[in-house]
Homo-oligomer: A and B are copies of this chain.
């Protein structure tokens, strides 16, 4: 893409051109090379937005919390971008439905931009698309960017690493008692949210979580993750009040990061993950493409399947052939 065209695109993102931004995010999901060019161009202008990550099991109520958080930040005149990373199976249609509901609640508010990103079967590609989409919303001028993911697997932890402040949402009686909280999640949580906190088991979940937190030795910089309890959405006005308190905790964490010079550490963590993702796509993808083009990959797969040669031996050959080291 020419310099002049990149400059134009940059200006249109800055001016909040919703159609262009939507198309750009879709192209990032689809790994269109021109979209990467745009990211390279706009990257030096990023770094103004505060990024909040929200993760938790399916059905934990993350979308509702996001919805109320948007209103809470908007009441302070902050602009909000939302990236809902939805790994729901395409044919159940979960992604679009959730998106549409949320769109309606904030329709006509130009200070809110919501998009969902879906896994399209691409191995590891989603995390890269999310980080690039964050850069776009950042340049678009959004003050707060909320990244919401379903689940607590390794790919979700990768995505959460793009956030300054990470919320882990738990609910009583849904199988996510403290024993089953997955590796990495406990460690990366900055704020725990117990949603549906008026349901049976909430007190036990709270106590278990407190005990687990007490056992954690290295609290980064002295921040002890608070546990915020939200009750039933059945009383929307009260729920909104509780989410306002949650929002205050988030801002408290932002301040903590800034005061303790930890903001830079978070930026370093983000940079590290982004660099590894970028190396993966620049180094691994071209090798796999070449192998696939001349049928070598399929031959190798055949021989591995027939137990002739182990995958490790082929990988060593590939290393010798394509790497200078």
Pick the contact of A283: B158, B277, B315 (CB < 8 A).
B315
Rounded to whole angstroms, the CA-CA distance of A78 and B322 in the bound complex is 45
CB contacts (< 8 Å) of A158 on chain B: these are 123
The answer to the question of A200 belonging to the interface, with a C-beta cut-off of 8 Å to chain B, is no
Query: Chain A: interface secondary structure?
Result: helix
The reply to whether the CB of A280 lies closer than 8 angstroms to some CB of chain B is: yes
> Considering the chains assembled together, what is the distance between the CA atoms of A229 and B311 in angstroms?
38
Chain B CB within 8 A of A118 CB: yes
Contact of A233 with B by CB under 8 A: no
What number of A residues sit within 8 Å (CB to CB) of B? 98
The 8 A CB mask of A239-265 against B (1 = contact, 0 = none) is 000000000000000000000000010
Contact B43 A307 (CB under 8 A): yes
Inter-chain contact B283/A313, CB cutoff 8 Å = no
Tell me the residues in window 265-289 of chain A with beta carbons closer than 8 Å to chain B beta carbons. Answer: 267-268, 270-272, 274-284, 286-288
> Which B-chain residue is minimally distant from A176 (CB atoms)?
B58
**In contact, B87 and A312 (Cβ under 8 angstroms):** no
Q: Which of A175-198 contact B (CB under 8 A)?
A: 175-187
A92 touches B174 (CB 8 A): no
Interface contact B325-A324, CB-CB below 8 Å? no
Cβ contact of A183, chosen from B43, B121, B280, cutoff 8 A: B121
A118 B182 Cβ-Cβ under 8 A? no
The reply on A75 being an interface residue by CB < 8 A is no
Query: Chain A interface (Cβ within 8 Å of chain B)?
Result: 36, 39-40, 43-47, 57-60, 87-94, 97, 118-119, 121, 123-124, 126, 150-156, 158, 171, 174-187, 212, 215-216, 264, 267-268, 270-272, 274-284, 286-288, 290, 297, 300-302, 304-316, 318-319, 321-325
